[in-house]
A and B are shown apart, each in its own frame.
Chain A
């Protein structure tokens, strides 16, 4: 029992060190809300801890991103219940005096405003492909889409982004 726990803790610590930033970034660019992104990143790792030792995990990164993806989809469902006004206010809110965090949020703002104009269908895949650097087959595995569908959507999403960027 204890030997297993030790391995589990080591794997958990390594996953956090390796993936905390990228999971947070993923959540942020899909939700446009820093606070929610932090909450979801934390929740992702909690769920990951609970799955460790219970499920066979071959690719930790893909597994963690799948958890994050599911949590984000849940969050989208809740989001639809909120008013558009509240969403607009929530956009780039940084509720802290953390200067590093404020600077960070300004940096991604330009891209975020363009991503905000995409539907979730395209946005999610663009974030996974070009911000998280996930290969097509992993995105397909995370989202449950075929590799072909992923490629087509990414292609269309990029075309829309280019259009927004030129405008």
Chain B
């Protein structure tokens, strides 16, 4: 039968790129954009270099090497607010990486990573008494943006894959809760201005955590009343068993850095995780899938929290010990060359030596693993 022109045009409108073709073209475009941004970054860096060479004192040798090797982007990865490379980290590195995330799931995961990064930066600065009001406001605003974007992508994902959305929301909630505790522990060791800045941030993190938790609970309630709850519960069992194995291996590797008391606490927490899994399995056997789903979720969150706490504990407490050792050494040795010979613009607020010096004299940070 002869089709009308209208039908033929209508058919033509559904003529699209295939998913693979669309992704492939997008990847090519990303490369193009990345090269363009890098080229412009190079110009920016060259201008900066000229300014430094003409107006400011000679650069420290390691910066010269970094520039010569074109390692700005690499150097920026660990930059903190106030460091000269921090804008590169935010506007080049993270943007370019973010572009690789096409699906809502990938975008939600990426925004989760960024929200956590901002909080880690705040912790690092606060631990070294470098968190001023301006930096706190900047971090708080960036954190809020990423947390909100993560929530938006999680909400979109929930319409297509409720389980994946619930898992990401649970991971985000866990990590924010851990950050909140770490910030509180750091806050306890501080006084004065740094303390008040941290309190503002702690409140913000608490509010975002509550929002995410509310959405997650709502989302999980929908999953529990859905037809796929059995598969969802079994999937979570698999995930939590993998997570527990991962954390146990992690604890084993970090054994040397963890004190005896902390190790007792960790083992107690992992026992709670194992118990929750066992309870979930019982519920699974009696076909109470909704209950099992919740228990496995709690177990996974706790296991993840244990890992994050260990990371924070070993990071902050090791640094604390290193600083004390450094301090002890300097009392006996001859005066060291002054670090202030390096141009302040490159030192920013965050060179390691700066942070070590600033950290001396502050109270010892104690990260409590008791969950």
Contacts and interface: CB of A to CB of B under 8 A. Distances in A.
A100 B19 contact: yes
Interface string B6-22: 00110111111111111
Interface stretch (B26-34, B119-127, B247-255): B26-34
Contact of B8 (A6, A12, A100, A110): A110
A161 interface: yes
B24 to A, nearest CB: 8
Given A100-B19, A100-B20, A110-B8, A16 B29 contact: yes
Among B2, B17, B36: residue with most chain A CB under 10 A: B17
A45 B90 CA distance: 24
Contacts of A2: 87, 90-91
Contacts of B20: 98, 100-101
Interface string A42-62: 100110011000000000000
B272 interface: no
Interface in A137-167: 158, 161-162, 165-166
A49 B13 contact: no
A28 B15 contact: yes
A134 to B, nearest CB: 12
B8 A5 contact: no
B200 interface: no
Contact of A25 (B3, B5, B12): B12
B264 interface: no
Interface residues of A, number: 38
Contacts of B32: 46, 49
Given A2-B87, A111-B11, A162-B5, A25 B16 contact: yes
B9 A21 contact: no
B25 A5 contact: no
A116 interface: no
A136 interface: no
Nearest to B32: A46
B239 interface: no
Contacts of B9: 111, 130-131
A38 B15 CA distance: 13
A121 interface: no
Contacts of A16: 26, 29
B95 interface: yes
Given A49-B33, A110-B11, A130-B5, 18 more contacts: A2-B87, A2-B90, A2-B91, A16-B26, A24-B21, A29-B15, A38-B17, A45-B29, A46-B29, A49-B32, A100-B19, A107-B11, A108-B11, A110-B3, A110-B8, A165-B2, A165-B5, A165-B8
19 contacts: A1-B44, A6-B95, A9-B99, A13-B99, A24-B16, A25-B13, A29-B12, A29-B15, A38-B25, A49-B33, A100-B18, A100-B20, A104-B15, A107-B14, A108-B11, A111-B9, A111-B11, A111-B12, A130-B12
In the complex, the 7 A-B pairs of residues with the closest C-beta atoms, listed nearest first: A100-B18, A2-B91, A21-B16, A111-B8, A101-B18, A130-B9, A108-B15
Interface of B: 2-5, 8-9, 11-22, 25-26, 28-29, 32-33, 36-37, 40, 44, 87, 90-91, 95, 99
